[in-house]
């Protein structure tokens, strides 16, 4: 499937004439075109004409996800804290258990990185009578990403909310995962269109919850608070927090340093304050970046490293939190 195909496969999205104004009820909401903010808005006629009522795609989504035991969203307040890296590590770690079937969905539509990190960026998605076949990285690990559909590796995706929503729905209702024990969904940083849409579309299918990734500095933690507030408002359970790039052990002198200093107590203190589970911390290890860049599993290439041990401990805690033991 190529980039041109993806444009054709997605249903025509509506085009807003200008960005949604403040207090916009949402072009797809019941009150679209009828709210106070709609009067005089250039989009009013577009919004009024959009179909109202229950979303007709939800039953198909529920049906397609009905054979997936655990559905986990991976969130972060900021970009660059290691969310996609951790999604990849989590997927590799779960799939080392041969009894588990694992799917990794890349919902970072404008900045997809899972295919590269999972070492399968040259693959494409095939369409069959049962839907889109995800790309298999191992017998029990499959992934889906818009990256597989781009005409060129570095083609930019410049889509407004409605087009993104069409793709998210497509990923949810048409990807043929077969049976999965875990579907791990990597999201873009922050609380944007993709987060609102995925939580809305998956609500009836049941989301186990969200795993939040942060680094120890206060600027990252400030955004984590917003992420957790989003989860509460969207009715998504917070499964716990992972502190990534937490400390660095020099491979030469074995001296430990805190590169990103937890000036306010770091992720652990935040978890205590907010009453959420601290799932563990993963140290900064340059070899994690190298393995990601080469599309290899760091857990395979450096199984005895403190970082691998730390990742596996977080995964155990997460499996415990979703009641998988
Ligand atoms: P995000 O998804 O939050 O934007 P990424 O997963 O893309 O962040 O990670 C950003 C960069 O940090 C990448 O280059 C990645 O290899 C690196 N990185 C992530 N976690 C670690 C870690 N624990 N040790 C060393 N480098 C890391």
Short-list 234, 104, 105, 109, CA closest to 163: 109
Q: The domain spanning residue 153 has which CATH number? A: 3.40.50.300
Tell whether the model's pLDDT for residue 51 goes beyond 90: no
Tell whether the model's pLDDT for residue 261 goes beyond 80: no
Per-residue confidence (pLDDT) for residue 252, from 0 to 100: 72
Q: Which of 79-83, 149-153, 211-215, 225-229 is least confident?
A: 149-153
CA dist 227 and 109 (Å) reads 19
Q: Looking at per-residue confidence, does 290 or 53 come out higher?
A: 290
Per-residue confidence (pLDDT) for residue 87, from 0 to 100: 97
**Neighbour-count burial of 79, counting CB atoms closer than 10 A to its CB (0-12 exposed, 13-18 middle, 19+ buried):** middle
User: Are 34 and 160 found together in one domain?
Assistant: no
Does 25 reside within a domain? Answer: no
CA dist 208 and 323 (Å) reads 10
As a whole number, mean pLDDT of residues 306-315 equals 95
Digit-coded pLDDT (tens) for 26-47: 887 778 888 888 888 998 988 8
Short-list 115, 164, 109, 111, CA closest to 137: 115
Per-residue confidence (pLDDT) for residue 22, from 0 to 100: 80
Per-residue confidence (pLDDT) for residue 281, from 0 to 100: 92
Atom 20 (ligand 1) nearest CA: 82
CA dist 229 and 252 (Å) reads 41
Short-list 164, 150, 157, 145, CA closest to 14: 164
Per-residue confidence (pLDDT) for residue 55, from 0 to 100: 83
Q: Which two tokens stand for residue 69?
A: 């035991």
Short-list 293, 315, 303, 319, CA closest to 118: 293
Per-residue confidence (pLDDT) for residue 193, from 0 to 100: 81
Pairing relationship of beta strands 180-186 and 102-106 according to DSSP bridges: parallel
User: Are 69 and 166 found together in one domain?
Assistant: yes
Atom 19 (ligand 1) nearest CA: 82
| 3-class state of residue 248 by DSSP | strand
How many structural domains comprise the chain?
A: 2
83 C-beta closer than 6 A to ligand 1: yes
Q: How confident is the model at residue 291 (pLDDT cuts 50, 70, 90)?
A: very high
| 3-class state of residue 239 by DSSP | strand
311 C-beta closer than 6 A to ligand 1: no
Query: In angstroms, what CA-CA distances link 42 with 33, 35, 165?
Result: 10, 13, 21
Per-residue confidence (pLDDT) for residue 6, from 0 to 100: 61
Q: How confident is the model at residue 250 (pLDDT cuts 50, 70, 90)?
A: confident
Does 22 reside within a domain? Answer: no
Could you tell me the distance, in angstroms and rounded to a whole number, from the CA of residue 189 to the centre of ligand 1? 13
User: Are 224 and 255 found together in one domain?
Assistant: yes
As a whole number, mean pLDDT of residues 76-98 equals 94
Digit-coded pLDDT (tens) for 169-184: 999 999 999 999 999 9
Annotated binding site for [4Fe-4S] cluster: 24, 38, 41, 47, 250, 253
User: Are 197 and 150 found together in one domain?
Assistant: yes
User: Are 44 and 125 found together in one domain?
Assistant: no
Does 7 reside within a domain? Answer: no
Per-residue confidence (pLDDT) for residue 14, from 0 to 100: 72
Per-residue confidence (pLDDT) for residue 325, from 0 to 100: 72
Contacts of residue 302, defined as CB under 8 A and 6 or more positions apart, other chains included, come to: 285, 287, 291, 308
Instruction: Answer for the pair 304, 266: CB distance below 8 angstroms, yes or no.
Output: no
Tell whether the model's pLDDT for residue 286 goes beyond 60: yes
Domain encompassing residue 113: 65-321
Per-residue confidence (pLDDT) for residue 68, from 0 to 100: 97
Instruction: Answer for the pair 109, 157: CB distance below 8 angstroms, yes or no.
Output: yes
84 C-beta closer than 6 A to ligand 1: yes
Q: Select from 243, 244, 289, 297 the residue to mutate for testing ligand 1; criterion: most ligand atoms less than 8 Å from CB.
A: 289
Per-residue confidence (pLDDT) for residue 154, from 0 to 100: 64
What percentage of the chain has pLDDT greater than the value 90? 51
Q: Which two tokens stand for residue 125?
A: 């998605």
Per-residue confidence (pLDDT) for residue 296, from 0 to 100: 96
Tell whether the model's pLDDT for residue 153 goes beyond 70: no
Q: How confident is the model at residue 8 (pLDDT cuts 50, 70, 90)?
A: low
Digit-coded pLDDT (tens) for 203-219: 999 999 999 999 887 77
Could you tell me the distance, in angstroms and rounded to a whole number, from the CA of residue 85 to the centre of ligand 1? 5
Tell whether the model's pLDDT for residue 282 goes beyond 90: yes
Could you tell me the distance, in angstroms and rounded to a whole number, from the CA of residue 80 to the centre of ligand 1? 6
227 C-beta closer than 6 A to ligand 1: no
User: Are 38 and 108 found together in one domain?
Assistant: no
Q: Which of 117-121, 232-236, 313-317 is least confident?
A: 232-236
User: Are 87 and 37 found together in one domain?
Assistant: no
Tell whether the model's pLDDT for residue 254 goes beyond 70: no
Short-list 175, 183, 115, 174, CA closest to 150: 115
Does 294 reside within a domain? Answer: yes
């Amino acid at each position: 499937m190529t980039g041109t195909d993806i444009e054709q496969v997605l249903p025509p999205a509506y085009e807003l004439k200008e960005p949604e104004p403040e207090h916009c009820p949402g072009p797809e909401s019941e009150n679209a075109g009828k709210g106070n903010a709609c009067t005089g808005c250039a989009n009013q006629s577009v919004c009024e004409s959009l179909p109202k009522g229950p979303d007709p795609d939800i039953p198909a989504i529920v049906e397609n996800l009905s054979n997936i035991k655990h559905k986990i969203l991976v969130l972060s307040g900021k970009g660059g804290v290691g969310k996609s890296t951790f999604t990849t590590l989590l997927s590799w770690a779960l799939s080392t258990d041969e009894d588990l079937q694992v799917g990794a969905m890349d919902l970072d539509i404008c900045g997809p990185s899972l295919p590269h990190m999972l070492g399968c960026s040259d693959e494409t998605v095939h369409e069959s009578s049962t839907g889109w076949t995800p790309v298999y990285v191992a017998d029990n690990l499959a992934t889906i990403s818009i990256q597989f559909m781009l005409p060129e590796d570095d083609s930019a995706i410049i889509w407004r909310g409605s087009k993104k929503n069409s793709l998210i729905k497509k990923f949810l209702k048409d990807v043929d995962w077969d049976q999965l024990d875990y579907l791990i969904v990597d999201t873009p940083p922050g609380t944007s269109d993709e987060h609102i849409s995925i939580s809305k579309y998956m609500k009836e299918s049941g989301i186990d919850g969200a795993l939040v990734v942060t680094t120890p500095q206060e600027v990252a933690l400030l955004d984590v608070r917003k992420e957790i507030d989003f989860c509460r408002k969207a009715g998504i359970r917070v499964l716990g927090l992972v502190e990534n790039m937490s400390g660095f052990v020099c491979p030469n002198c074995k001296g430990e340093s805190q590169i990103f200093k937890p000036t306010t107590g770091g992720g652990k203190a935040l978890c205590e304050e907010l009453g959420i589970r601290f799932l563990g911390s993963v140290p900064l290890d340059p070899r994690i970046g190298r393995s990601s860049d080469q599309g290899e599993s760091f857990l395979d290439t450096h199984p005895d490293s403190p970082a691998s041990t730390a990742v596996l401990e977080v995964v155990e805690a997460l499996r415990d939190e979703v009641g998988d033991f």
